[in-house]
């Protein structure tokens, strides 16, 4: 999925995506570098820094838990601005930094840690489900530790829906390099 | 320190170094990308991949422990191909992935994990200390979990000997982004 509208972080589905160094070209988070924001308070705002948030990934299982928590039928990954949705890894957000995701094309991602929830997806969810009260307020808590991960592209390649992903979990006692 | 001789990973001291995206220009490990080697067996050898091993750092304290372990007076950081030597952090190798090192110039590094010992520095140490037996054989074990860390450049800038570094430790329960 790609966020290629300037006014929104919401993504739309693609038939396939080319991962290159920096992410998905045209995506809001694409770039070898990015601007420091409130997530990097150690740098002056808008400083150019290396971009470790190139690709964001959610899991079907965690989205289901968030939806239940919010009392709604489903949360679409687009509303959270995800680039990828994967299933089969119920605790995706706990995937250790340095873990790798390898795709059939040869493309590889490195996990750069959990994506910490911010307020904005709550607004989008509320707009899409206007009949359910207080979704915006409840989102951050509901998504805590279930908001998926961010990754950087280690090896470019094409990815597409249905790809089987091999996950190499980084064990800090005996780390992958 | 920089390794700018094609035939060796051994580094030499600089009066200052410019960190840019990819590391220290001219250094053996400089580059936004690098070639996969035995550390990345999940990719075919020599595949171009993103380079997370741009800068290597050792601590004075851990080098002292390695030297003691090997029964020698001192191990020079150059022999291990280090780019930086820091003091004051006795357990540098345990620094969590995602931790930041911030320099007075504004330069910033992100820790990408421990540097796992390989056999080659042992050869260099042995060559420099020919009177002490079996250094080459003993190096990997002596350096286990004391071999320092590798980093990527998050924000470019100049660094020089004597710089006071601010270290922001990444706590995985409440991670830095």
- Give, for B159, the enclosing helix (H) or strand (E): strand B157-159
**A86-90, B95-99, B173-177: segment of lowest average pLDDT:** B173-177
Q: Do A112 and B98 touch (CB under 8 A)?
A: yes
Give the closest residue to A18 by CA, choosing from A140, A158, A134, A172: A158
Under an 8 Å CB criterion, which residues of B touch A? 21, 32-33, 39-40, 42-43, 47-50, 52-53, 96-98, 100, 102, 106, 108, 110, 112-114, 116, 150, 152-155, 168, 172, 175, 177
pLDDT above 80 for A119: no
Find which of B144, B148, B155 to mutate to test the A interface (most A CBs within 10 Å of its CB): B155
Q: What token pair was written down for B9?
A: 């990973």
Q: How confident is the prediction for chain A on average, in pLDDT?
A: 93
Cα–Cα distance between A158 and B50 in angstroms, integer?
A: 16
Q: Do A52 and B110 touch (CB under 8 A)?
A: yes
The residue length of chain A stands at 177
**ipTM score of complex:** 0.92
Q: Do B21 and A39 touch (CB under 8 A)?
A: no
Instruction: State the sign of the Cα–Cα–Cα–Cα dihedral A123, B170, A154, B151.
Output: positive
Q: Do B155 and A108 touch (CB under 8 A)?
A: no
What pLDDT band is residue B89 in, cutting at 50, 70 and 90? very high
CA distance A131 to chain B (A): 33
What pLDDT band is residue A136 in, cutting at 50, 70 and 90? confident
pLDDT for A137-173, tens place per residue?
A: 899 899 999 999 999 999 999 999 999 999 999 998 8
Are B32 and B22 contacting, i.e. CB atoms less than 8 angstroms apart? Answer: yes
Please name each of the domains of chain A with its CATH number.
17-168 (2.40.33.20)
3-state secondary structure of A56: strand
CA A61, A175, B83: angle at the middle one, nearest 5?
130
pLDDT above 90 for A61: yes
Q: Do B52 and A108 touch (CB under 8 A)?
A: no
Query: Which residues of chain A have a CB within 8 Å of the CB of B152?
Result: 50
pLDDT for B108-135, tens place per residue?
A: 999 999 998 777 888 888 988 888 888 8
What pLDDT does B103 receive? 98
pLDDT for A79-110, tens place per residue?
A: 999 999 999 998 999 999 999 999 999 999 99
In chain A, the residue whose alpha carbon lies closest to the alpha carbon of B42 is A102
**E strand segments, A15-165:** 17-19, 33-35, 48-50, 55-59, 84-86, 100-102, 108-114, 149-155, 157-159
């Amino acid at each position: 999925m790609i966020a290629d509208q300037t006014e929104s972080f919401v993504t739309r589905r693609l038939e396939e995506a080319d991962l290159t160094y920096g992410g998905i070209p045209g995506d809001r988070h694409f770039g070898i570098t990015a601007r420091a924001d409130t997530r990097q308070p150690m740098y002056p705002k808008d400083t150019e820094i290396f971009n470790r948030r190139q690709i964001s990934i959610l899991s079907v299982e965690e989205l289901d838990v968030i939806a239940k928590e919010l009392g709604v039928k489903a949360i679409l990954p687009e509303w959270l601005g995800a680039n990828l949705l994967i299933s089969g890894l119920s605790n995706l957000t706990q995937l250790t930094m340095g873990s790798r995701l390898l795709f059939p094309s040869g493309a590889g991602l490195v996990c750069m840690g959990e994506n910490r929830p911010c307020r904005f997806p709550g607004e989008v969810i509320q707009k899409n489900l206007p009949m359910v009260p207080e979704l915006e307020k409840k989102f951050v808590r509901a998504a805590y530790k279930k908001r998926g991960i961010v990754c950087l592209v280690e090896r470019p390649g094409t990815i597409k829906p249905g790809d089987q992903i091999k996950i190499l979990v980084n064990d800090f006692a005996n780390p992958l390099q």
